[in-house]
């Protein structure tokens, strides 16, 4: 009995310490972002901020100073991430329906191709893509990066949704077929409405992935007016001087979208992760 209590206490202690260690950087960033620069430098960052000196100056600066201009980045990110979620979701849902419900000749081959695409490391494709984009005039365009993310997204979402569709009861689809429904109607009236949790999970994972991308953005978006928020955050850090408050505020702005999405839809995130294992 006493050993059991001891064990519970010990486990709780360990978990709390881990949780604290895990969240400390975030708490730190929030604290720094609302403190004046002077205070951060003189008094250090790991403390409860002085209420009287709290400020949102860093946020305003980060968003609006034309030097950094996170507002534009945020807007660009929203556009890129939304469209790069919508396009592959629609395309992949259609493809996934075909893979799960129709018989056609090249099905195993095409499905194998999707798996191969999912396994290719992104870094490997950058050089050929760069030349392709330059020749097509897509280099440094928002459309170009949307196309890129959509292409990556469509492969894994097809795979993900196909597995999801496979788990729908077969008899529902067969019943609809006997009732005389066409494939498109079965897709739109039966399969899609029943797969909303799966579609949500896929959309959220894809959106977050695109939002957090820095690698492709750094390579394919160069001009200030096209850059996304993750690139803008990097620019908050000067070469010789780092304004910690400004950088912290920028980081929080940049991660605000994924955090909000997670807070609102965390049920779907869980389901998505459970269905997926680890995404990439």
Partner 1 sequence: MRGASLKLWGITKRFRNVVAVDNLNLEVDRGEFIVLLGPSGCGKTTTLRIIAGLETPDEGRVYIDGVDVTDLEPGERDVAMVFQDYALYPHMTVYENIAFPLVVRASKLRLTKKDIEERVLRVAKMLRIDDLLDRKPTQLSGGQQQRVALARALVREPKIWLMDEPLSNLDALVRLQVRAELKKLQKDLGITTVYVTHDQVEALSLADRVAVMNKGRILQVGSPSEVYDDPKHIFVATFVGIPPMNLLECRVSDVIECPGFKRKLPGEYFKGLSKLYIGIRPEHIEIVSKEEGDFEGVVYVVEPLGSEYIVNVLVDSTLIKVKTAKELTLHSGEKVYLKIDWRKAIAFDPATELSLGKIPITVYSQS
Q: Does 175 bind partner 1 (CB under 8 A)?
A: yes
Pick the piece of the chain touching partner 1 (CB under 8 A) from 44-52, 57-65, 109-117, 179-187: 179-187
Count Cα atoms within 13 angstroms, Cβ side, for 98. 13
Total of chain residues touching partner 1, rule CB under 8 A: 17
Shortest reach from residue 188's CB to partner 1, in Å: 11
Shortest reach from residue 86's CB to partner 1, in Å: 22
Q: Does 171 bind partner 1 (CB under 8 A)?
A: yes
Q: Does 224 bind partner 1 (CB under 8 A)?
A: no
Residues 20 and 12: beta-carbon distance below 8 Å: no
Q: Under the phi-then-psi rule, with left for phi > 0, alpha for psi from -120 to 50, and beta for the rest, what region is 144?
A: alpha
**Four-CA torsion 102, 106, 111, 116, nearest 10 degrees:** -170
Q: Does 194 bind partner 1 (CB under 8 A)?
A: yes
Q: Does 182 bind partner 1 (CB under 8 A)?
A: yes
Q: Which of 55, 71, 82, 185 binds partner 1 (CB under 8 A)?
A: 185
- Tell which residue, 66, 62, 72, has the closest CA to residue 29: 62
Residues 95 and 159: beta-carbon distance below 8 Å: no
- Count of H helices and E strands in the chain? 14, 0
Shortest reach from residue 46's CB to partner 1, in Å: 51
Backbone CA torsion sign across 170, 94, 215, 72: negative
- Partners of 242 in the β-ladder: 237
Q: First and final CA of the chain: distance in angstroms?
A: 45
Pick the piece of the chain touching partner 1 (CB under 8 A) from 49-57, 82-90, 174-182, 256-264: 174-182
Q: Does 273 bind partner 1 (CB under 8 A)?
A: no
Q: Does 200 bind partner 1 (CB under 8 A)?
A: no
Shortest reach from residue 276's CB to partner 1, in Å: 24
How many other C-beta atoms are found inside a 10 Å radius of the C-beta of residue 19? 10
Q: Does 188 bind partner 1 (CB under 8 A)?
A: no
Q: Which of 2, 180, 239, 274 binds partner 1 (CB under 8 A)?
A: 180
Q: Which of 172, 222, 260, 264 binds partner 1 (CB under 8 A)?
A: 172
Shortest reach from residue 95's CB to partner 1, in Å: 22
Backbone CA torsion sign across 118, 121, 124, 130: positive
How many other C-beta atoms are found inside a 10 Å radius of the C-beta of residue 15? 10
Q: Measured from the CB atom, is 115 or 172 closer to partner 1?
A: 172
Residues 268 and 204: beta-carbon distance below 8 Å: yes
Q: Does 66 bind partner 1 (CB under 8 A)?
A: no
Q: Residue numbers of the site for partner 1 (CB under 8 A)?
A: 169, 171-172, 174-182, 185, 189-190, 193-194
């Amino acid at each position: 009995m006493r050993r059991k209590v001891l064990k519970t206490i010990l486990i709780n202690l360990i978990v709390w310490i881990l949780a604290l260690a895990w969240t400390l950087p975030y708490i730190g960033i929030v604290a720094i972002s609302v403190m004046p620069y002077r205070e951060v430098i003189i008094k250090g960052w790991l403390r409860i901020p002085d209420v009287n000196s709290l400020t949102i100056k860093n946020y305003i600066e980060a968003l609006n100073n034309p030097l950094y201009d996170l507002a534009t980045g945020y807007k660009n990110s929203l556009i890129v991430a939304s469209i790069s979620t919508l396009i592959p979701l629609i395309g992949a849902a259609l493809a996934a329906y075909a893979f799960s419900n129709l018989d056609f000749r090249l099905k195993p081959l095409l499905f194998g191709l999707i798996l191969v695409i999912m396994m290719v490391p992104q870094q490997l494709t950058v050089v050929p893509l760069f030349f392709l984009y330059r020749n097509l005039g897509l280099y440094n365009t928002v459309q170009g990066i949307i196309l890129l993310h959509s292409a990556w997204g469509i492969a894994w979402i097809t795979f993900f949704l196909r597995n999801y569709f496979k788990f729908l009861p077969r008899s529902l689809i067969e019943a609809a077929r006997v009732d005389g429904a066409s494939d498109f109607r079965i897709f739109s009236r039966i399969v899609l409405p029943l797969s909303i949790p799966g579609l949500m999970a896929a959309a959220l994972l894809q959106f977050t992935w695109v939002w957090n991308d820095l690698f492709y953005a750094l390579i394919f978006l160069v001009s200030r007016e096209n850059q996304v928020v993750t690139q803008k955050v990097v620019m908050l850090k000067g070469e010789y001087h780092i304004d910690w408050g400004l950088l912290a505020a920028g980081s929080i702005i940049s991660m605000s979208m994924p955090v909000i999405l997670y807070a609102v839809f965390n049920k779907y995130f869980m389901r998505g992760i459970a269905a997926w294992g680890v995404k990439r």
